[in-house]
């Protein structure tokens, strides 16, 4: 049986991926260049018994998502740079309260309102460091319309498995370009749902570490009564200031992700087997980088590409291994050096690092990357 195919925008594909994952609640506020996600969800969710609501602002939208997620819904929001900034307090709340949900953030120029219709890759640090306090982050960076679909499914799976907010961050080019995609058949991608409690309601604690670093999560309204707070808390969810409990709780919430890095981190290697130079790229820039790598190979330059699919957790182990083998890295990105800082940290002074940075609202082209490849000594 042939698969259903379509010619979709990245944003439209992401919405369809959310539906495949079982998303049944969307709250959002229109913002360029992510609004198409909301438009599709407003049409499709009522067809499957889901709920769509447009809130009064970006903060209210994410608050509604958290409330829906606590009732057992698979909840989604979509935004862009200024909206991401406004949501940071509630992203922090979702982290400490361990609420599974997905946020699609389409990257555009900044700071502030920046260039609303221009592409950028300048939100990747906000995904990790935007909200205050120590917390883990899982952030996916698609490079095609098909990946917008597949990675949104993956994001819901990760959110449910690790009981936390997960971000999908296409840049504006990927979000608005149109490509042929294949809809996944039922069962083709495993769908993960949160672990529900097996103990009687009277014995349930929402942060009970007897069940591991990711405690089971009951749904409000299911007969389980429990407390949720943005404060440091005990296993029953009520606030505490006891130093040993706070320390252990904070460490657990980071550990639940960092102990599973090998399971979470996703990447692609392109012509890296004999590479002496490595281009590290992600999102739409990786498409230009692939072209530049092929052009350089035609000139006899041994270069390959390491493409990030997961930006956070950052693929430290893989970059460190590459640094021990190559003479140089080239890091192209539509910001002034956010990924290159991470590459430099992992490189530990072993290889040369050259950057290609553009923040003028135009995409990086293959020639700009090829020029830098030729400069590696």
The pLDDT value given to residue 1: 54
74 domain-assigned = yes
Cα of 144 vs its chain's centroid, Å: 14
Q: What pTM was computed for the model?
A: 0.97
346 domain-assigned = yes
Range of the domain at 219: 201-262
pLDDT tens per residue across span 132-178: 999 999 999 999 999 999 999 999 999 999 999 999 999 999 999 99
Dist CA 161 CA 150 (whole Å): 17
Q: Same structural domain for residues 124 and 99?
A: yes
Residue with tokens 């890091």: 331
Q: Same structural domain for residues 116 and 55?
A: yes
Q: Same structural domain for residues 278 and 326?
A: yes
Average pLDDT, integer, range 297-314: 98
pLDDT tens per residue across span 93-109: 999 999 999 999 999 99
pLDDT tens per residue across span 73-91: 999 999 999 999 999 999 9
238 domain-assigned = yes
Instruction: Choose the final residue of a domain: 182, 216, 248.
Output: 182
The pLDDT value given to residue 3: 87
pLDDT tens per residue across span 235-287: 999 999 999 999 999 999 999 999 999 999 999 999 999 999 999 999 999 99
b/e per residue, 18-42, with b = 16+ CB within 10 A? bbbbbbbbbbbbebebbbbbbbbbe
Instruction: Choose the final residue of a domain: 212, 231, 262.
Output: 262
Residue 21 near residue 104, CB atoms below 8 Å: no
331 domain-assigned = yes
């Amino acid at each position: 049986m042939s698969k259903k195919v379509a010619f979709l925008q990245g944003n439209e594909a992401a919405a369809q991926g959310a539906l495949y994952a079982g998303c049944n609640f969307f709250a959002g506020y229109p913002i360029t260049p992510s609004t198409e996600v909301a438009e599709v969800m407003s049409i499709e969710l009522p067809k499957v018994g889901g709920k769509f609501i447009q809130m009064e602002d970006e903060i209210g939208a994410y608050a509604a998502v958290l409330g829906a997620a606590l009732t057992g819904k698979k909840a989604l929001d979509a935004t862009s740079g200024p909206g991401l900034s406004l949501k940071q307090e509630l992203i922090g709340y979702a982290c400490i309260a361990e609420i599974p949900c997905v946020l699609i953030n389409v990257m555009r120029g900044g700071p502030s309102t920046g260039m609303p219709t221009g592409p950028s890759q300048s939100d990747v640090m906000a995904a990790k460091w935007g909200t205050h306090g120590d917390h883990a982050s899982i952030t996916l960076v698609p490079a095609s319309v098909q990946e917008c679909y597949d990675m949104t499914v993956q994001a819901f799976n990760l959110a449910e498995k690790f009981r936390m907010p997960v971000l999908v961050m296409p840049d504006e080019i990927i979000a608005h370009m149109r490509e042929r995609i294949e809809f996944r058949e039922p069962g083709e991608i495993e769908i993960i749902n949160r672990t529900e409690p097996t103990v009687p309601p009277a014995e349930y604690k929402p942060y009970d570490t007897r069940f591991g670093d990711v405690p089971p999560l009951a749904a409000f309204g299911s007969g389980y009564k429990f407390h949720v707070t943005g404060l440091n808390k005990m296993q029953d969810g009520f606030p505490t200031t006891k130093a040993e409990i706070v320390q252990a709780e904070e460490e657990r919430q980071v550990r639940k992700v960092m102990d599973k890095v090998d399971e979470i981190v996703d990447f692609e290697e392109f012509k890296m087997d004999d590479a002496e130079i490595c281009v590290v790229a992600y999102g739409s820039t990786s498409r230009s980088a692939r072209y530049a790598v092929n052009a350089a190979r035609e000139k006899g330059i041994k270069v390959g590409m390491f493409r990030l699919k997961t930006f956070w957790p950052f693929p430290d182990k893989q970059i460190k291994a590459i640094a021990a083998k190559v003479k140089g890295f080239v890091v192209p990105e539509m910001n002034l050096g956010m990924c290159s800082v991470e590459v430099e940290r992992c490189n530990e002074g072993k290889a040369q690092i050259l950057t290609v940075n553009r923040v003028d609202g135009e995409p990086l082209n293959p020639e700009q990357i090829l020029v830098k490849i030729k400069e590696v000594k």
